[in-house]
Amino acid sequence: MGKDIHAIAIHGGAGTILRSKMTEEKERDYREALETALDAGYLVLDQGGTSLDAVEKAVNALENCPLFNAGKGSVFNAKGQHEMDASIMDGHTLHAGAVAAVRNFKNPITLAHKVLVHSDHVLLVGEGAMEFAKPFDLEIETDEYFHVDHRYAQWQKIKGSDSFQLDHAKEDKKYLGTVGAVALDKHGNLAAATSTGGMTNKKFGRIGDSPLIGLGNYANNKTCAVSCTGSGEYLMRGVTAYDISCLMEYKGLSLDEAAKESVMNRLLALGGDGGVIAIDVKGNISMPFNCEGMYRGMRNSGGKEISIY
């Protein structure tokens, strides 16, 4: 099943700029950035590449864009630094790679992919991840590279306080968010990737759902591939990505039923806002969210679609 069908979905974070504050120009910028990432991932699939490579490529494009909270556009932590989390999972082998609280890597998802392929471990953190990365010659950027003015302004508002802020925190009327991609390749294999700068003003080495397998990211050929975005503390308690897979595997729900049940009922009941992108082995895609919007896009042989609200 799934052979020769290929499809990809991406997100640039749940909780968007409020519709009332979105300008035509900004909307065009977001749409263009999403389309570039979508096309980068789809090209890999179209040429017969793996879903793992496709999700990495799509996420790389989003990480390189200052509009999204990942890679270059990562938010500032309480110390004025950028600590990034990322994870990637192969639905065929159930192998996974993840990194947390890493700094200066241009593309944390590429590092996570290296962990998947070249390490016996799943999750590497901080300095250790840096040391692991040495032989791979990955691109390292200066702190200045990650300085994006609107992120700095976001941080200045709450710097020195005890509050931390989700990129799409209600008080801030939503800015941008974590990024992710899920894909089905021509070989019938699923993969999921998620990358984030986390929360503005986060401290004490706070890590969210994004690098945690089953929580913010999950892929299993038996069921689906999922990438989450939203309030990490709730997505963690809801074990949201795996929850969707379980609802399909144990309860026999369809992809769309499972994703909606998890996001619109269970996550909301816990008090969490956010959304997911999910794909199954037939190439069905579901992208529910329980907040104002979610930057998202999907592409298959039938065409592509990019949406915000």
- Of the listed pieces 29-37, 143-151, 194-202, 293-301, which binds ligand ASP according to CB under 6 A? 194-202
Helix (H) or strand (E) holding 100: strand 96-102
Is residue 210 part of the contact set for ligand ASP (CB under 6 A)?
yes
Is residue 165 part of the contact set for ligand ASP (CB under 6 A)?
no
Q: Residues 177, 272, 283, 288: which binds ligand ASP (CB under 6 A)?
A: 177
Is residue 276 part of the contact set for ligand ASP (CB under 6 A)?
no
Q: Looking at 16, 110, 178, 194, which residue is catalytic? A: 178
Phi, psi of 102 (to 5 degrees): -95, 150
Tokens found for residue 20:
């009332």
- Of the listed pieces 103-111, 116-124, 129-137, 196-204, which binds ligand ASP according to CB under 6 A? 196-204
Task: Compare residues 52 and 212 and give the one whose CB is closer to ligand ASP.
Answer: 212
Is residue 90 part of the contact set for ligand ASP (CB under 6 A)?
no
Is residue 272 part of the contact set for ligand ASP (CB under 6 A)?
no
Active site includes 178? yes
Q: What's the full length of the chain, in residues?
A: 309
Is residue 223 part of the contact set for ligand ASP (CB under 6 A)?
no
Q: Work out how close the CB of 231 gets to ligand ASP at its nearest, in angstroms, rounded to a whole number.
A: 6
Q: Work out how close the CB of 232 gets to ligand ASP at its nearest, in angstroms, rounded to a whole number.
A: 2
Q: Work out how close the CB of 307 gets to ligand ASP at its nearest, in angstroms, rounded to a whole number.
A: 17
Beta-ladder partners of 43: none
- Of the listed pieces 35-43, 112-120, 203-211, 283-291, which binds ligand ASP according to CB under 6 A? 203-211
Task: Compare residues 178 and 245 and give the one whose CB is closer to ligand ASP.
Answer: 178
Helices 24-46 and 51-63: crossing angle, nearest 10°?
A: 150
State which of positions 64-83 bind ligand ASP (CB under 6 A): 69
- Please give the order of strands across the beta sheet that includes 285-286: 217-219, 224-230, 274-280, 285-286
Which single residue brings its beta carbon nearest to ligand ASP?
Answer: 232
Are 84 and 107 in contact by the 8 Å Cβ rule? The answer is: no
Q: Are strands 123-125 and 96-102 parallel, antiparallel or unpaired?
A: parallel
Quickly tell me which residue has 């032989």 as its tokens: 135
Beta-ladder partners of 296: 11, 307
Is residue 178 part of the contact set for ligand ASP (CB under 6 A)?
yes
Is residue 232 part of the contact set for ligand ASP (CB under 6 A)?
yes
Rg (CA), the chain: 17
Q: Residues 66, 91, 214, 230: which binds ligand ASP (CB under 6 A)?
A: 230
Task: Compare residues 42 and 146 and give the one whose CB is closer to ligand ASP.
Answer: 146
Is residue 275 part of the contact set for ligand ASP (CB under 6 A)?
no
Give the contacts of 192 (CB within 8 A, at least 6 positions apart). 55, 88, 89, 91, 180, 181, 182, 217, 218, 219, 225, 226, 227, 241
Is the alpha carbon torsion for 65, 234, 115, 287 positive or negative? negative
Residues 134, 264: Cα–Cα separation, whole Å: 42
Is residue 200 part of the contact set for ligand ASP (CB under 6 A)?
no
Tokens found for residue 262:
């998890």
Task: Compare residues 97 and 198 and give the one whose CB is closer to ligand ASP.
Answer: 198
Q: What is the DSSP letter of 197?
A: -
| CA 144 to the chain's CA centroid | 23
Catalytic residue list: 178
- Binding residues (CB under 6 A) for ligand ASP: these are 13, 69, 166-167, 177-178, 196, 198-199, 208-210, 216, 229-230, 232, 235
